[in-house]
Amino acid sequence: MSARWAIVGLLATAACDRASPPVEQAEGNAAAASPDEAAPAAAGVPKADAVDRAHAGEKAPDLAVTDAAGKEVRLRSLAGRPLLVNLWATWCAPCVKELPTLDAAAKAGAARFRTVAISQDMDPAKARAFLKEKPLAAAEPLFDPKLSLGLSYQANLPTTILYDASGAELWRVTGELDWTGEAARALLAEAK
């Protein structure tokens, strides 16, 4: 049970990545951070929406998630063709906002890479209900209620990672991105 509380604590402190409130909203001259806001990036850590290649060459973690039918899927078993992994949650506004563009990119790139959208909701029923109302056309929904991937990646949400066909990481992006935009198309062209 203590591991579950550790996960809850992690989520509380590293909630989905979002912009700071404008300075004019803060009292006085100093801007106050919201308690659910991600901590400022430390030196050497890429800022949100930046491409992080620090993990290039690392293999995908050998962790299991579940598919829509409840069957276990190991992330490493998806190697063989390029794989775009997106970690998201229903409670993360930037995740929800970018999900349609991720799905559109998945559809456009289906011949070149596979896309999985892995829910980090601790209650998969919430993600399933969300996806019933807003179904994905091309991105494959997977579920990680134990948050094993989010913890393994030490990721804020949303985080998107591209693996090559051998299962080696090429890059990751933390934060909302329009996956149909020019910058994202250039990144996705690296899928080989």
CB contact burial 142-172 (16+ within 10 A = b; e otherwise) = bbbbbbbbbbebebbbbbbbbbbeebebbbb
pLDDT computed for residue 50 by the predictor? 86
CB 19 within 8 A of CB 37: no
Domains of the chain, each with CATH number or no CATH: 47-188 (3.40.30.10)
HSE of 88, CA atoms in CB hemisphere, 13 A: 30
Alpha-carbon gap, residue 175 to 108, rounded angstroms? 21
Q: What is the DSSP string of 161-181?
A: EEE-TTSBEEEEEES---TTS
Is residue 18 within 8 Å of 38, Cβ to Cβ? yes
CB 158 within 8 A of CB 176: yes
Residue with tokens 């090559």: 164
pLDDT tens digits in sequence order for the chain, 192 residues long: 544 444 444 444 445 544 433 333 333 333 333 333 333 444 444 455 689 999 999 999 999 999 999 999 999 999 999 999 999 999 999 999 999 999 999 999 999 999 999 999 999 999 999 999 999 999 999 999 999 999 999 999 999 999 999 999 999 999 999 999 999 999 999 999
Check residue 23 and report its DSSP letter: G
**Which 3-state string (H, E, C) describes 79-105?**
CCCCEEEEEECCCCHHHHHHHHHHHHH
- Amino acid at position 133, single letter: E
